[in-house]
Amino acid sequence: MTLNKNPYDNMLEQLDAAAQIAGLSMEEYITLRYPEREFTINFPVEMDDGRVEIFTGYRVQHNSVRGPYKGGVRFHPHVNMDEVRALAAWMTFKCAVADIPFGGAKGGIAFDPSTLSQKEIERITRAYTAGIMPLIGPEVDIPAPDVNTNAQVMAWMMDSYSKYKGRNTPGIVTGKPVSIGGSLGRREATGRGVSFMVREIARQLGIDLEDATVSIQGFGNVGSVTAESLYSMGCKIVAVSDVSSAIYCENGLDIPSLIAHVNRHPKHLIEGYDQDGLEPIDNPTLLTLNVDFLIPAALENQITKEIAMNTKARIIVEAANGPTTFEADKVLEDRGITLVPDILANSGGVTASYFEWVQNLQHLSWDESKINVNLERKMVSSFEAVYNTALEKNTSMRMGAYIVALYRLVEARKLRGIF
């Protein structure tokens, strides 16, 4: 996977372009161009064979004008400050589009968890939590899962924080297991939200979801739940991929059996899956297939200018954060390919995280139907705000989403003032 462009520059280009369309002066939004606080830690961890290794972790707190910092923690060998900074900024805009009272943050540790034992990953997680301890708190900065982190990692973070503080503090992270204060429906919320966005844009463009074709890059938490949810809406998922392989089936993949296979696989991968009519393909082929919906659900900078020029997808719904480069965006717009942007499309995760946090602060738990009804209501209303703003300003939905977020953020800054 090529991470060829500094994702923070990509974010700044999107932000400046939206501010210009919204008619905002640099002075009004300049604070959003700079992260408020950045933190790098190098910490030692004892490995299973007795060696001591140094790991590098990051936490960037981009903006808190609308509420406490909020954002996931990523474990990946490519994690670096530029990436974490961009992801933190996207969280600020995403929480503003979703209209939830959080700011934006992100964290990460540069390592490959697939090569380490669970015990090693646990020690790394706990050491990282101790390292960022001065920065986080249930009403200060609330981490969550992202790429290669899950409910178990959140349980270790919550336990480490609670031990240090001497009191149980479930509200320090979201995306926890349900048995220790997590929320029903949180794990599925991002993918479920992506499928609501597919349904809403299909409705606007008069596309029947029954037998609409879909290809999905990435089959982790977000990609697999999106596939499951769209499959249940009647879509035909013709291609999926992950780090191990990419597969295509003209008649549609049997998503329930693919998910059962991935759950059985020791590394939760699609490699080794088989069904009638299955063909192996490669990543560029998956991204350029002739489908109604292309859903990138892996990492950033996947839809490059070249992919944008060649893709035959009709609509792109960004489940991943920052999967499309700024240059590719322009090509897609010129080619009339509709794009539902990340800060709207994948905001279901942070919205359900907000519900989890509210439950933790109030020491109560909602049933799953309450989560799902509220998730759908919030996401449909964000979709309408973004879609109508894009129409009104005669611009893309990406710009529409930034403009909705910018108005809310700039208003909050004006009310709070410069201090």
User: Least separation, in Å, of the C-beta of 120 and ligand NAD?
Assistant: 18
> Is 119 one of the catalytic residues?
no
Nearer to ligand NAD, 19 or 340 (CB): 340
Q: Hey, which residues between 52 and 111 contact ligand NAD (CB under 6 A)?
A: none
Q: Hey, which residues between 271 and 290 contact ligand NAD (CB under 6 A)?
A: 283
Q: Hey, which residues between 173 and 232 contact ligand NAD (CB under 6 A)?
A: 190, 217-223
Quick one: which of 106, 47, 54 has its CA closest to 80? 106
User: Least separation, in Å, of the C-beta of 6 and ligand NAD?
Assistant: 16
Locate tokens 């949810």: which residue? 229
User: Least separation, in Å, of the C-beta of 286 and ligand NAD?
Assistant: 8
Nearer to ligand NAD, 190 or 360 (CB): 190
User: Least separation, in Å, of the C-beta of 44 and ligand NAD?
Assistant: 26
Q: Which of 61, 174, 241, 359 binds ligand NAD (CB under 6 A)?
A: 241
Nearer to ligand NAD, 120 or 342 (CB): 342
Nearer to ligand NAD, 235 or 262 (CB): 262
Identify the active-site residue in 5, 106, 176, 378.
106
In 110-130, which positions are buried (b, 16+ CB within 10 angstroms) versus exposed (e)? bbebeebeeebbbbbbbbbbe
Binding window for ligand NAD (CB under 6 A); candidates: 60-68, 114-122, 235-243, 411-419 = 235-243
Quick one: which of 228, 226, 217 has its CA closest to 349? 226
Nearer to ligand NAD, 76 or 199 (CB): 76
User: Least separation, in Å, of the C-beta of 206 and ligand NAD?
Assistant: 28
Please tell me whether residue 346 binds ligand NAD under the rule CB under 6 A.
yes
Site string for ligand NAD, 290-329 (x = CB under 6 A): -------xxx-------------------xxx--------
Nearer to ligand NAD, 109 or 319 (CB): 319
| Residue number, nearest CB to ligand NAD | 220
Q: Which of 83, 120, 122, 146 binds ligand NAD (CB under 6 A)?
A: 146
User: Least separation, in Å, of the C-beta of 356 and ligand NAD?
Assistant: 11
**Which structure tokens are listed for 296?**
């990138």
Q: Which of 148, 304, 359, 396 binds ligand NAD (CB under 6 A)?
A: 148
User: Least separation, in Å, of the C-beta of 75 and ligand NAD?
Assistant: 8
User: Binding residues for ligand NAD, per CB under 6 A?
Assistant: 1, 145-148, 190, 217-223, 241-243, 283, 297-299, 319-321, 346, 349
Enzyme catalytic residues: 106
